[in-house]
């Protein structure tokens, strides 16, 4: 049975007794007294329905089965139920009402009940009045003999199907039927007021889920807030706010922890709907069910924790991967970078040169290299020391880096030897670039000046390998040293070279 079916059951013809019980509980009637009355109904009687009447407000309510069975009640009728009682029996019925008022216990009355469309049926009504004089509230249960109800059916075709359904659905004795409703629901059911959250009805399964005895006695002070975990109170308050603001009859649910009598906290799913509203439309009572979802919630929590752990592991793996990639970049840099000057090293230069030679030949682009060697650097180290010599090499490398284009590639390829790869550059342009470096060195104002010799060579079809190109540039650089140092020589061909300037 779904939650919606449960609420409809509470408000249906067969469930009108639960409504009577709920309302009588609000008027301080002892739990189960309404259900377990002292009278014993003969097996020959079948329940046709119930009705309730509040004297102070004049509020009247009847189960749909009686409304469908009986004629409309005139507005002028002081006590609405009298509109359904045969005129000949009204005095006897009124006497029974007065006895119920005086006794505070169930009072029986046999009378005839008028049927919609004509005809009468002999019934037995059991009446109970609860509350004080100012809050008197009368409850009535109407029963009919099967044999008599069959006769009534024959005299009133309009009530035939309703009586047959009543005979079939209400063949159990009343208290047993109500207990069957309350005890056989697959989920627990309860009714509580909106403001103080006190229960006006709880079936036995509700109590057993929380570990309470099946008797409802002694639990009048128990509210939902009393048993809901403090950490879940905010979610429960939001749930009640939605119920209070709702006007569509929607079912709302919330999952929270509730404490059992053993002190254990278990997870429950509460599903609630507004059960009764006041004259302004404000929610007064809610009807709801609870279902123990501890196992499901435990699995969800375990799964969530496992996911968090996996995410943490994944995060750590990503961090470790990032560190490994950074270490690989550092290792790659160490493998291709000169430790002293920060320029590319010999290995990186030759790998890059092979790559650029393939590209230049594929696209028929000009490609030149320049080899520079600091003049008399051994003598410089002997005079100023190797520490000062290393610093001078770093300064020289920084000057070369400043003078290069972004596309140029400069490397330290020996102790005091440096090489350049100049893409899209012919031999003459390479010579001009080298001459600019000679000028930059001579313009320095250092107290320990240095000079350098430069050799340039352009890639030609006669260069079968990169080593042929490098060899021609080296030869031009040595030619510059032989020509007096501090100058540039550009290789014209593999057979001869010509000094620049």
DSSP string of 247-315, one letter each residue: -S---EEEEEEEE-TTS-EEEEEEEEEEEEE-TTS-EEEEEEEEEE-HHHHHHHHHHHHHHHHHHHHHH
Active-site hit among 52, 170, 356, 416:
416
**CB contact burial 69-80 (16+ within 10 A = b; e otherwise):** bbeebeeeeebb
Hey, what are 199's tokens?
A: 């229960």
Which residues does residue 455 pair with via DSSP β-bridges, in sequence order? 371, 489
**Own/partner pairs for 464-471, CB < 8 Å, 24+ apart?**
466/350, 466/353, 466/354, 466/357, 468/494, 469/353, 469/357, 469/369, 470/353, 470/369, 470/371, 470/419
Q: What's the CA dihedral at 197, 199, 200, 201 to 10 degrees?
A: 140
Active site residue 475: no
Q: Are strands 199-202 and 190-193 parallel, antiparallel or unpaired?
A: antiparallel
Determine the Cα–Cα distance for residues 223 and 204; give it in Å rounded to an integer.
16
- Which residue, chain included where needed, has tokens 């249906």? 12
Tokens of 184: 């056989």
The span from the CA of 340 to the CA of 417, in Å, is 13
CB neighbour list of residue 297: distance below 8 Å, 6 or more residues apart: 255, 267
Residue 321's CB: how many other CB atoms inside 10 A?
10
DSSP 119-159: -EEEEEEEEEEES-GGG-EEEEEEEEEHHHHHHHHHH-GGG
- Catalytically active residues, by annotation: 416
């Amino acid at each position: 049975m779904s939650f919606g079916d449960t609420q409809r059951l509470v408000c249906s013809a067969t469930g009108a007794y639960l409504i009577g019980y709920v309302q009588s509980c609000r008027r301080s009637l002892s739990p189960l007294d309404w259900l377990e009355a002292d009278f014993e109904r003969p097996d020959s009687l079948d329940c046709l329905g119930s009705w309730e009447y509040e004297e102070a407000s004049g509020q009247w309510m009847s189960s749909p089965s009686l409304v469908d069975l009986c004629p409309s009640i005139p507005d002028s009728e002081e006590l609405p139920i009298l509109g359904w009682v045969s005129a000949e029996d009204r005095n006897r019925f009124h006497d029974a009402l007065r006895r119920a008022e005086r006794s505070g216990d169930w009072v029986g009355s046999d009378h005839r009940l008028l049927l919609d469309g004509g005809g009468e049926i002999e019934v037995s009504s059991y009446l109970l009045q609860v509350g004080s004089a100012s809050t008197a509230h009368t409850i009535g249960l109407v029963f009919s003999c099967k044999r008599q109800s069959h006769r009534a059916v024959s005299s009133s075709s309009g009530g035939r199907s309703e009586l047959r359904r009543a005979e079939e659905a209400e063949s159990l004795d009343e208290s047993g039927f109500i207990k069957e409703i309350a005890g056989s629901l697959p989920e627990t059911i309860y009714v509580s007021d909106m403001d103080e959250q006190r229960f006006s009805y709880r079936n036995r399964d509700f109590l057993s889920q929380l570990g309470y005895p099946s008797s409802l006695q002694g639990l009048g002070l128990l509210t939902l807030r009393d048993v809901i975990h403090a950490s879940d109170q905010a979610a429960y308050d939001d749930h009640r706010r939605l119920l209070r603001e709702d006007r569509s009859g929607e079912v709302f649910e919330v999952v929270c922890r509730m404490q059992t009598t053993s002190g254990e906290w278990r997870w429950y799913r509460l599903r609630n709907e507004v059960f009764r509203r006041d004259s302004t439309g404000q929610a007064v009572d809610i009807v709801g069910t609870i279902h123990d979802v501890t196992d499901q919630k435990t699995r969800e929590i375990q799964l969530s924790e496992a996911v968090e752990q996996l995410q943490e592991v994944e995060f750590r793996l990503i961090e470790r991967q990032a560190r490994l990639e950074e270490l690989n970049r550092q290792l790659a840099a160490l493998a291709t970078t000169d430790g002293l000057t920060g320029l590319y090293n010999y290995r990186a230069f030759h790998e890059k040169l092979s790559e650029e030679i393939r590209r230049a030949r594929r696209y028929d682009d000009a490609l030149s290299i320049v080899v520079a060697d600091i003049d008399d650097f051994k003598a410089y180290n002997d005079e100023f020391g190797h520490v000062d010599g290393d610093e001078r090499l770093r300064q020289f490398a920084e000057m070369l880096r400043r003078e290069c284009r972004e596309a140029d590639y400069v490397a330290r390829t020996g102790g005091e030897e440096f090489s350049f790869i100049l893409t899209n550059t012919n031999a003459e342009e390479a010579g001009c670039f080298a001459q600019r470096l000679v000028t930059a060195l001579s313009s320095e104002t250092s107290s320990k000046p240095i000079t350098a010799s430069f050799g340039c060579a352009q890639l030609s079809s006669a260069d079968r390998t990169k080593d042929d190109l490098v060899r021609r540039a080296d030869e031009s650089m040595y030619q510059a040293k032989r020509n007096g140092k501090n100058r540039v020589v550009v290789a014209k061909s593999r057979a001869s070279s010509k000094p620049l300037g």
